[in-house]
Amino acid sequence: MPCRLVLFDIDGTLITDRGAAREAYDTAIREVYGYSGDLHRYDFSGRTDPQITHMVLGAAGLSDDEIDACLPRLWEIYLANLARNATPERVQTLPGIADLVDELSGRSDVLLALLTGNIEPGARLKLAAADLNRYFSFGAFGSDSPRREDLPPIAVERASAFDRHRFSGRDVVIIGDTIYDIRCGNPYGATTIAIASGKTAADTLLAENPHHFFSSAADRGGLLAAILGHDESS
């Protein structure tokens, strides 16, 4: 029976999509809401897709009700654009990830899942391009809640339904590249592992006091020890 539930973030942790999602989203938000601002001034790192939308459009003067009314259409166009953009040539697995995930998937003491701000269909399109979907049967997504801090218990509930084991505390391992990956695990006593493989600076991640920090996933031995609880001193 698994003793660790390992929850991976996607963007900046598992993969880089080289702007495929942002381009798809930019086109969709302009078409659906008539947005005319500059999305490049916003940092989307670690935020959920609905949270991003409210952040951008709220700053443009739209009310929550106006934003929510058109979200289904936004996601429809965004996903159609992303399906074209997220090609295997463009979406790349980050260094060390393929070997790490493959090794974890073969262990009987680990259950792999996702914890991401992406809406689930978008997450699946990105992972399909990198041939990573096969490792993740379930997860918690931005389509489950706009609040990232709501996602860990959702993932735990789905793990329980999937495996009939109730994970809690340090046995829940959250791996990500942003401050929000770390913060969302803190209220639940989860093990937090920060990897400086995305846009967030190492010093910024370290200031959040994750249980473990790595500059990349290339340190497979160190990551495995941290994930499995064999390196509690770091």
Closest CA to 176 of 2, 43, 15, 39: 15
Q: Looking at residue 130, what is its pLDDT?
A: 97
* Distance between CA atoms of residues 196 and 137, nearest Å: 26
Query: How many independent structural domains does the chain possess?
Result: 2
Is 145 in the same domain as 201?
yes
* Distance between CA atoms of residues 121 and 173, nearest Å: 23
Per-residue pLDDT tens for 9-43? 999 999 999 999 999 999 999 999 999 999 999 99
Is 69 in the same domain as 108?
no
Is 139 in the same domain as 204?
yes
Per-residue pLDDT tens for 96-144? 999 999 999 999 999 999 999 999 999 999 999 999 999 999 999 999 9
Amino acid symbol at 120: E
How much helix, strand and coil, in percent to the nearest 5, is found in the chain?
Answer: 50, 15, 40
Closest CA to 139 of 203, 122, 130: 122
Is 10 in the same domain as 68?
no
Per-residue pLDDT tens for 188-204? 999 999 999 999 999 99
Is 204 in the same domain as 120?
yes
Count of residues making up the chain: 234
Tokens, residue 82: 């992303």
* Distance between CA atoms of residues 38 and 44, nearest Å: 13
- 233: in domain: no
Is 103 in the same domain as 180?
yes
* Distance between CA atoms of residues 61 and 66, nearest Å: 10
pTM of the complete model: 0.95
